[in-house]
Each structure stands twice: as C-alpha cells, then as structure tokens.
C-alpha cells in the first residue's frame, strides 16, 4: 500500500494545469449506455474511479479505450443490464448505471453502491424518481431491480438537490418521449456539462444550472464527441494551497465555478488575481479567521470543507466550520489534531483555533477530500509527515504528487 512522505514547510510557487472534472466524466461515461453509437470524451482524468467505470462499462458489453485523457466507447455486443457487487462496491457514482439502463432496456439490476465512508448517502431519491417515471422496484440479496413495460414522463420534486439523483433522472428522462420536469434539481456545473452531452445526443434539456430542469425525451439517442469541463474541486484545492504556502497560478480553470471560495479566500487575506486564461492565488500577510457552512452549489462545497479546515488551522483567531451535507465528514479532525491543530467538534460544527504552525506527523486518510486536507496541512507543517492510505487520493486527483513537486513541494510516494 502506498503512502506519501512530505517534508515541510513547503515554499510553493509555480503553475499547475487543472485536470478534467472527475464527477462530470463519470456521469457522462455512464450516459454512453443510452446509445449504441460511438461516443468520444476528451479531457478525462486518469483516476481510479475512471478505471472502475471502464470496468463497469466493459462488463456490460461496451468496448472501451482509455488513454491520453481520451475515452472512447463503442457497442459491439448485447448489453448486460446488471452491475455486479464486486465493481459497484468500489464507487458511489456507479449507481448512475441505473437511469440509462432502465430507460433504454426497461430493466436494470445493480448492487447497492459503495465509495467513501462519509455518511449513509441513501439512494432513495433516485428510486422515488424512477418510480414516478413508471418503474417497478424490488430488492433481491443486496441488489436493486428496476423494471417497467413502459416508462412515462413525469414531474418529480426532489426533497434535496441531490447531484446523483438529478443526473440519473435526467439520463432516464432523455429516452422517455414527452416532457419530464425535475424540480429542486442540483445546480452544479457538472449537471450543465451532462445536459450539454444529452443535447448533443438528441434530447432537449432546458434549465440545467437552475433548480428546475425540463427534459424532452426522444425514442433514440445518438453518439457524441465532447470535452469535459475542468475539475473545480481540484482547482479549489490548489487555490487553498496557494493561500497557505505561497503562490499558485492555475491554468484550465473556470473561475465562475469557484466564486464562493474566491470570496472566502479574499476575506481571509489571500490575494486572488483572475485573468482571461489563468487564476492566481497568493498567501497574504496574515490568515484571517473566516467561518464557512457547506451548502449545495453555488454555496460552499462540502468537497472543500476539509481543505478549508486545514487552512484555518493557521488562522489568527477562531473559525467555525459547519457541515450540512454529510453527517460523517469530520473524520480528518483527529488527524489534524495529531499535527498540532486545535479543533473541537460539537454536532455538525467544528471550531478551529488557529496555531502558529503545524507539526509533521503520521496520519491516515479516511476519504478522498479528507486526504486532500491532510496533504495541504503536511505541506505547511514543520517536519516530516507520513500520509497513509493514499489510494483514496488516487480516486480524485490526477498525478497529484507530480503536480505538487513541480510547484516546489518536497513530496514522494513510497510503498510501505
């Protein structure tokens, strides 16, 4: 099992190219199940989750090629409308096989999905939406079975703007003739990117990026060629790194996708410069304490909460961090405290008391974004840090140690 060895503190200064969006790529790759025609997706990051998706699509009968950030999917055999436990357990997003399979084949069987241990994250909103579209739902030995003789358009109101449920229902509705409306829909940029692909395939999707999405489905969808948007979570992780450890210039970034964090960074005293083809973040004289509360997009992202907590460990007073999305996303607190941080948790709120500096230590990653927070903390800390279970990081950050090394970090990957 690999780990990172980091010698800090790091003086970060340089330019980094942001990879394509992991979350956008995953949804769009599962959308290839909606058609029997060739699909080409560019700017796909080389990540463990993408490789898992490759295996799932291959298992179903798709012919896949993935290399040099280009993913091609063709169909040359009958599709198997099942996603087995051994593949699905590795990744939460694998539930996105359900919508395309149900819409195209009127049947889908998939294991309950796995992924990071940051909360229960039930799929009941997905299933309630499928039921509204006319699906019959049953359970069998840990598998969900969806079937329908004929799906119908519907008006669906989500009780929470779930990204996964919004994506699954958008894809299913694209092959249901008529008008389907999804209310209280997720508004993330990845939703807009998926909508762009569905429109290229022949569906008519309106309102993506707002809380109401209207989908006019068709009988058959076509293949597509598309380039994935930049990964806003990776971008925001490097932005916080710049604010903590020096200066980072980011290429291949959409600044408007990061607007909430940009405003918080400015309040904290960091310098943020936005130019046409890059964004630059530099450390200020002092790190001011800034409270945050995670919310659905365009609010502060839950996927940046751990990184912000690492940043606030060095603030000049006290900062409150409130987590409203997932009920178990403070597992990095104990690890940060091992590095000399002073963080206490009460309910869904963590209080961070700033310290002069963090101290290197051996820490363990619990989930993908917690791992990013621990890496930032180690880069700013005095001394040697050993970060274990980096396989979590490999799920969402493409060649992160190489990117950090180019910025001046003393980091290496070793096998324990």
Residues identified as active-site: 116
Cα distances from 75 to residues 29, 36, 78, 219, 330, in angstroms, run: 13, 5, 8, 18, 43
**Angstrom distance (rounded) from CA 271 to CA 293:** 22
241: three-class secondary structure by DSSP: helix
**Angstrom distance (rounded) from CA 93 to CA 271:** 35
Block residue for tokens 């519907």? 154
Instruction: Classify residue 303 as exposed, middle or buried by CB count within 10 Å of its CB (0-12, 13-18, 19+).
Output: buried
Count how many residues are written for the chain.
Answer: 416
**Angstrom distance (rounded) from CA 119 to CA 188:** 20
- Rg of the chain's alpha carbons, rounded to an integer? 21
39: three-class secondary structure by DSSP: strand
Which long-range CB contacts under 8 A does 151-155 form with residues at least 24 apart?
151/102, 151/103, 151/106, 151/175, 151/176, 152/176, 152/178, 153/177, 153/178, 153/179, 153/180, 153/217, 154/180, 154/181, 155/180, 155/181, 155/183
φ, ψ for residue 39, nearest 5 deg: -125, 140
């Amino acid at each position: 099992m690999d780990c990172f060895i980091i010698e800090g503190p790091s003086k970060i200064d340089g330019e980094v190219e942001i990879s394509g969006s992991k979350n956008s790529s995953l949804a769009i790759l599962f959308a290839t199940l909606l058609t029997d025609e060739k699909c080409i997706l560019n700017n796909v990051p080389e990540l463990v989750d993408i490789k898992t998706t490759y295996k799932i699509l291959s298992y179903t009968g798709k012919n896949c090629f993935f290399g040099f950030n280009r993913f091609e999917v063709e169909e040359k055999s009958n599709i198997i409308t099942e996603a087995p436990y051994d593949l699905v357990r590795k990744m939460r997003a694998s539930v996105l096989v359900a919508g395309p399979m149900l819409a195209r084949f009127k049947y889908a069987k998939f294991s309950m999905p796995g992924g990071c241990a940051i909360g229960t994250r039930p799929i009941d909103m997905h299933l309630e939406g499928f039921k509204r579209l006319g699906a019959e739902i049953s359970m069998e030995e840990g598998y969900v079975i969806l079937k329908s003789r004929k799906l119908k358009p519907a008006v669906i109101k989500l009780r929470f703007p779930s990204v996964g449920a919004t994506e699954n229902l958008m894809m299913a509705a694209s092959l249901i003739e008529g008008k389907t409306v999804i209310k209280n829909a997720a508004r993330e940029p990845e939703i807009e990117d998926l909508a762009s692909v569905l429109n290229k395939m022949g569906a008519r999707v309106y309102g993506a990026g707002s809380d109401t999405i209207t989908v006019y489905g068709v009988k058959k969808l076509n293949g597509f060629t598309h380039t994935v948007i930049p990964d806003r979570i990776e971008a925001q992780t490097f932005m916080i790194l710049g604010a903590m450890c020096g200066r980072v210039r980011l290429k291949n970034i959409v600044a408007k996708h990061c607007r909430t964090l940009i405003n918080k960074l400015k309040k904290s005293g960091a310098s943020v410069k936005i130019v046409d083809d890059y964004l630059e973040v530099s450390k200020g004289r002092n790190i001011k304490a800034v409270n945050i509360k995670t919310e659905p997009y365009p609010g502060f992202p839950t996927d940046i909460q751990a990184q912000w907590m690492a940043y606030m460990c060095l603030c000049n007073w006290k900062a409150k961090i409130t987590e409203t999305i997932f009920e178990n996303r403070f597992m990095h607190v104990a690890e940060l405290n091992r590095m000399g941080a002073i963080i206490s948790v009460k309910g869904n709120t963590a209080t961070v008391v700033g310290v002069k500096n963090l101290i290197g230590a051996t820490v363990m990653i619990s989930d993908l974004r917690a791992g990013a927070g621990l890496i930032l903390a180690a880069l700013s800390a005095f001394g040697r840090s050993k970060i274990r279970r980096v396989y979590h990081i490999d799920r969402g950050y493409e060649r992160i140690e190489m990117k950090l090394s180019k910025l001046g970090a003393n980091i290496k990957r070793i096998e324990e």
